[in-house]
Amino acid sequence: MSTPSIRHDWSIDEVREIMNQPFNDLIFKAQSIHRENFDPNEVQISTLCNIKTGGCAEDCSYCSQSSRYDTGLEKEHMMAVEEVVEQAKAAKAAGASRFCMGAAWRNPNKRDFAKVVDMIKAVKDLDMEVCTTLGMLTPEQAQELSTAGLDYYNHNLDTSEAYYPKVITTRTFQDRLDTLESVRSAGMHVCSGGIIGMGEQQQDRAELLRTFANLEQHPDSVPINLLVPIEGTPLAEMRGKTDELDFVRVIATARILMPKSFVRLSAGRNEMVESTQALCFLAGANSIFYGDKLLTTENPEANKDKALFEKLGIRPLQK
């Protein structure tokens, strides 16, 4: 089959029709499109480093780093540039081609922003791709990050515009879209995805993917997260309430709507058995976070990932 031209005009009915088709047909179509755009046995590996933990002013209902919730997480100062470089070197030695740095901020202040710029330059010197997630950005901040050599900026939409106010009230859905526009206008790659399992309906999942697919340019990387419920947050009771095959359907639909984007199997992998992860790769996921932590939640240890890759015949994508 031939890949249809890249579209940016999907209707919600079309997206839901794709997502709801018989499972075997959905997976076959997603894998066929995936093979026309990527090597089906290569997966891009990223490592995430939490450069500043806790104390965020936002009220995201899923997040352990919000200062509004008692999750037992201790606020920590920002890491030194030298510490970040050592972690980046270790990540590269373990097979990661991209190093992502995350900070718990609503938006970066001037002093800390200058430190992040230094970190970006230092990691770039290691010949790695660099990604950051720092909250909302002004157009000027986005341009400064681009000038420093930042490759990707992550800023998730999280869920549909309709469901968004039930998850976050301290910034709007449009605020997030504005940051994505600033990132793209500054010439950087956009990394933006969502979280499945926050009590949203299938309609919300379809609307989220439709929002990405109808952007003027698709995100270069689309992380699909399975909620990891954190004690002390409003969504702590959501554990085990998402059907894993429904999650695979989201991965496959993302692949069909955005044929050339990297689709990242992100947070929540620690909750998945190997067969579910294998289905996600079959459905078109071709990027993961490697290592034992995603910011503050557990992730499969690197040696487990290596063992799974060996079973599936998957190899890391080389930069």
Given pLDDT bands bounded at 50, 70 and 90, which one contains residue 242?
A: confident
Please determine, for residue 246, whether its predicted confidence score (pLDDT) is greater than 90. Answer: yes
Q: Tell me, yes or no, if 49 is annotated catalytic.
A: no
The active-site residue out of 131, 171, 210, 255 is 131
**Mean pLDDT of all residues in 57-73:** 76
pLDDT for the residue 73: 65
Annotated active-site residue 100? The verdict is yes
Our answer to whether residue 264 is catalytic in this structure is: yes
Query: Known catalytic residue: 63?
Result: yes
CA distance 84 to 239: 32
Higher pLDDT, 290 or 10: 10
Region 243-259: mean pLDDT is 97
Q: Is the pLDDT of residue 299 over 70?
A: no
Residue 198 pLDDT = 94
- Per-residue confidence at 296, pLDDT binned at 50, 70, 90? very low
- DSSP line for the chain: -PPPPP-S---HHHHHHHHHS-HHHHHHHHHHHHHHHS-TTEEEEEEEEEEE-S-B----TT-TTBTTS--SPPP-PPPPHHHHHHHHHHHHHTT-SEEEEEE--SS--HHHHHHHHHHHHHHHTTT-EEEEE-S---HHHHHHHHHHT--EEE---BS-TTTGGGT--SS-HHHHHHHHHHHHHTTPEEE--EEE-SS--HHHHHHHHHHHHTSSS--SEEEEEEP---TTSTTGGGTT-S-HHHHHHHHHHHHHHSTTSEEEE-TTGGGS-HHHHHHHHHTT--EEE-SSEETTEE---HHHHHHHHHHHT-EEPP-
Q: Which of 49, 98, 100, 255 is catalytic?
A: 100
pLDDT at 54: 65
Choosing from 176, 184, 264, 269, the catalytic residue is 264
Options 49, 56, 171, 255, the catalytic residue: 56
56 part of the active site: yes
Q: Is 280 a catalytic residue?
A: no
pLDDT, residue 297, reads: 45
Strands 98-103 and 293-294: what pairing? unpaired
Q: Across all residues in the chain, what is the average pLDDT?
A: 88
- Is 191 considered catalytic here? yes
pLDDT per residue as tens digits for the range 79-114: 899 999 998 998 888 778 889 898 877 788 888 899
Where is pLDDT greater, at 200 or 271?
A: 200
Q: How remote is the C-alpha of 45 from its chain's centroid?
A: 12
Q: What is the mean pLDDT of residues 158-178?
A: 95
The predicted structure's pLDDT at residue 2: 44
> Residue 9: is its pLDDT beyond 80?
yes
